[in-house]
């Protein structure tokens, strides 16, 4: 069996899919994307495809090695995401060839269902309590929200108080048996994060995510020491090597993205690395159905898995949502806030290929907003 064709599809709301077809007619799907840079990743996939055409699709590890290291210059979000999407598609082909779900090829399932959380509040959270109550009503046992919009470099008392008030309101709706996770989104400096974390600790958040920008991860040890709140990071880390300093710093939760951090192959290894630090895995996934399917395969096969992000109804999903390109939505029909185990071969989902091809004709040009502080200077989004 040889790889005969590799195609990409730029589809709303902000995704890129890839499709690998073999000369035997087996088709695998992947989601190689960096949000806001989808066209750049598409070009990277085209270049990496040169090395895959004509090769045996089942030699996944060798393709990962060549895709990741075969160019003298390597790493970073664009190349790692291109490799990630191709890797997902190759695992999909392997599962379909062997007649097994990917989690079986990774050593077999270690759980029967996977806890997922729902997003509330959008980019600048307000009016949260109704949204949280609706998610509780829908069966979710955990929600995540952004802590704040644009935040001053040294947070004001009002900014810190607003974050605490939001989480307190969430805790009141959720009660002591459900969880709220809080995403700082790299919008806080270490100084601001330290203040906010101290006041959030009594509200017992599941974790606080990206307490500082990834380029400031050398400051994580101080934050871990200063706060009882479990810290999470990883959506902007792309390899085992990137995760090692954060894990050494003592983060509680590693959040690799299946579409950014080298795909199923590398996230499986990041999970094992995290386990050696007693850290839990919570794959980042505000993305599309293929990225989520890949995440769930990892979740079922990973002992130190905590919880899975998913994008249904997320504020980014305009013009299309998680189920838009699926022939059958059943794999993502969550029951009591959990995804049920799916033993279908490969990634376990069936795409509506006609819908994907039609959407690609319109494409998209999604970009994240560029925010400014009141004085006109750049603000982290």
Footprint of Mg ion (CB under 5 A)? 183, 209
Contact predicate 216/188, CB 8 Å: no
Concatenate the DSSP letters of all residues of 169-222 into one string: HHHHHH-TTSEEEEE-TT-S-HHHHHHHHHHHGGG--S-EE-SS-GGGGGGHHH
In this complex, which beta carbon is closest to Mg ion, that of residue 67 or of residue 234?
Answer: 234
- Give the CB-nearest residue to Mg ion: 183
Minimum separation from the CB atom of position 235 to Mg ion (A): 5
In sequence order, the β-bridge partners of residue 379 are 371
> Is 103 tagged catalytic?
no
Residues 6+ apart with CB under 8 A from 200: 163, 164, 167, 182, 208, 229
Taking the least distance from each CB to Mg ion, the nearer of 209 and 242 is 209
What is the pairing mode between strands 27-30 and 15-22?
Answer: antiparallel
Write the CA distances from 88 to 23, 38, 39, 201, 381, integer angstroms.
19, 17, 19, 38, 29
Closer by beta carbon to Mg ion, 16 or else 213: 213
Least Cβ distance, residue 255 to Mg ion (angstroms) = 7
What is the bridge-based pairing of β-strands 231-233 and 27-30? unpaired
- The percent helix, strand, coil of the chain (3-state, each to 5) is 40, 15, 45
With respect to Mg ion, which residue has the nearer C-beta, 159 or 183? 183
CA distance 356 to 318: 16
- What is the C-alpha end-to-end distance of the chain, expressed in Å? 45
In the complex, the smallest distance separating the C-beta of residue 290 from Mg ion, rounded to whole angstroms, is 20
Which of 63, 284, 338, 364 is an active site residue? Answer: 284
Active site residue 185: yes
Beta-carbon neighbour count of residue 70 at 10 Å?
A: 11
Q: How far apart are CA 141 and CA 114, in angstroms?
A: 12
Residue with Cβ nearer Mg ion (183 or 266): 183
Q: Which is nearer to Mg ion, 141 or 311 (CB)?
A: 311
Q: Would you say 244 and 216 are in contact if contact means Cβ atoms under 8 Å apart?
A: no
Closer residue to Mg ion (CB): 10 or 282: 282
Handedness of CA 266, 206, 114, 316 (dihedral sign): negative
Q: Which of 185, 268, 338, 364 is catalytic?
A: 185
Closest distance of CB 183 from Mg ion, Å: 4
Helices 157-174 and 128-137 sit at what angle, rounded to 10 degrees?
A: 30
CB of 126 to Mg ion, least distance (A): 19
Largest Cα–Cα distance of the chain, in whole Å? 63
Q: Which residues are catalytic?
A: 185, 284
């Amino acid at each position: 069996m040889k790889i005969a064709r590799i195609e990409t599809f730029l589809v709303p709301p902000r995704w890129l899919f890839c499709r690998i077809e073999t000369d035997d007619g087996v088709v695998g799907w992947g989601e190689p994307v960096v949000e806001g840079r989808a066209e750049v990743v598409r070009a990277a996939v085209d270049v990496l495809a040169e090395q895959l055409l004509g090769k045996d699709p089942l030699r996944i590890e060798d393709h990962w090695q060549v895709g990741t290291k075969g160019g003298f210059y390597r790493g970073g979000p664009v190349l790692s995401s291109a490799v990630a999407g191709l890797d997902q598609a190759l695992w999909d082909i392997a599962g379909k060839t062997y007649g097994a779900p990917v989690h079986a090829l990774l050593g077999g399932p270690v759980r029967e269902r996977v806890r997922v959380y729902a997003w509330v509040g959008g980019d600048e959270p307000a009016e949260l309590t109704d949204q949280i109550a609706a998610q509780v009503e829908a069966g979710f046992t955990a929600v995540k929200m952004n802590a704040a919009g644009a935040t001053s470099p040294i947070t004001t008392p009002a900014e810190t108080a607003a974050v605490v008030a939001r989480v307190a309101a969430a805790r009141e709706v959720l009660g002591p048996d459900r969880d709220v996770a809080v995403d700082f989104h790299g919008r806080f400096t270490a100084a601001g994060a330290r203040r906010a974390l101290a006041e959030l600790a009594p509200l017992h958040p599941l974790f606080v995510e990206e307490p500082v920008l990834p380029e400031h991860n050398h400051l994580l040890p101080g934050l871990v020491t200063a706060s009882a709140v479990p810290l999470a990071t990883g959506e902007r880390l792309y390899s085992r090597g990137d995760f090692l300093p954060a894990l050494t710093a003592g983060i509680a939760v590693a959040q690799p993205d299946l579409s950014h951090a080298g795909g199923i192959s590398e996230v499986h290894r990041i999970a094992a690395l995290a386990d050696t630090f007693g850290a839990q895995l919570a794959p980042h996934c505000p993305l599309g159905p293929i990225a989520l399917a890949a995440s769930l395969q990892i979740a079922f096969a990973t002992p130190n898995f905590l919880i899975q992000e998913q994008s249904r109804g997320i504020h980014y999903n305009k013009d299309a949502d998680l189920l838009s390109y699926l022939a059958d939505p059943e794999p993502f029909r969550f029951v009591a806030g959990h995804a049920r185990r799916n033993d279908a071969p490969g990634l376990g989902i069936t795409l509506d290929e006609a819908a994907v091809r039609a959407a690609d004709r319109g494409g998209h040009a999604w970009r994240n907003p560029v925010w400014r502080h009141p004085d006109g200077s750049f603000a982290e989004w």
